[in-house]
Amino acid sequence: MIEKRPFGRTGHMSTVTLFGAAALGRRSQADADRTLDLLLEHGVNHIDTAARYGDSELRIGAWMPRHRKDFFLATKTGERTGKAAREGLERSLERLRTDHVDLIQLHALGHPDEWEVAMGPGGALEALIAARDEGLARFIGVTGHGWTIPAMHKRSLERFDFDSVLMPYNFFMHANERYRGDFDAVVATCEARNVAVQTIKSIARGPWATTEQSRNTWYQPLEEQADIDLAVHWVLGRPGIFLNTVGDIDILPRVLDAAGRFERRPDDAAMQAMLDARRVTSLFGIGT
């Protein structure tokens, strides 16, 4: 079974691998139900979805009448104004077939202009705080992508005491000195405040080289089990953080299998050898 860790200050012991439910966005209910069986088999007890993930909330909603108690349930809103964020959350609750989510997150909050709207008067954050106070959500988080998002999360945490953050983390990105410094600084703040740290893109190999994508991921993922083992074990080797699983349900079993066998973090030489062999490159342009 997969290890569990305290999910920040929430009181929930979440599996170190959280199910990244973007994988269900374009899949049938039958596919989703087979994925549920896999999650239960591995003991995964935390689902992370978003309003933007196609039909993902609808697929998960079909599980909730029987399995709501089995999962810490998180979703996201990409809206920036308070009115739209409130309406979006209510729609998500309807689609998820639940009266509350455990975590509602400001989705992809990386652009400074959008940040000012969402975090300002009448913005999405105000609406999510009100929703939390009304019991529609228990906790509030913030997410983002790209090289600059740790620095933006630092700014967000200075403005509001979020319960969780989400950002990219893999050996390739952490080798970038600036990214590593910003990432480590945010993690230190989160550790001091007992804020949960979620990570994404653990098995990212790089952008698709052609227009024909063979996987349900916007990036090309690592696919060999040995490579996935190294990537997953490297992330899980950092105490206290969580890994959101891949956005492809056919690769998902390999990620869960790797997580279930985690014992120790691979050394840097093994990681670099894998990156060189697979020609791993940046998803987000050139890191600065």
pLDDT tens-digit map of 247-264: 999 999 999 999 999 999
Tell me the average pLDDT across 121-130. Answer: 98
On the 0-12 / 13-18 / 19+ scale of CB atoms within 10 A, 150 is: buried
Task: Name which of 104, 11, 123 is nearest 49 in CA terms.
Answer: 104
- List pLDDT tens digits, range 5-57: 999 999 999 999 999 999 999 999 999 999 999 999 999 999 999 999 999 99
Mean pLDDT for all residues in the chain: 96
Domain ranges across the chain: 4-278
**Band of residue 286 on the pLDDT scale cut at 50, 70, 90:** low
CA distance 7 to 48: 13
Q: How confident is the model at residue 287 (pLDDT cuts 50, 70, 90)?
A: low
Q: Could you give the 3-state DSSP secondary structure of residue 148?
A: coil
- Per-residue pLDDT, averaged over 215-233, amounts to 92
pLDDT above 80 (res 233): yes
What are the backbone angles phi and psi of residue 23, rounded to the nearest 5°?
A: -60, -20
Considering the entire predicted model, what is its pTM? 0.96
Three-state SS at 98: coil
Q: Is the pLDDT of residue 114 over 70?
A: yes
User: For the segment 52-92, what is each residue's pLDDT rounded down to a tens digit?
Assistant: 999 999 999 999 999 999 999 999 999 999 999 999 999 99
Fold of 4-278: TIM Barrel (3.20.20)
Q: What is the pLDDT of residue 209?
A: 79
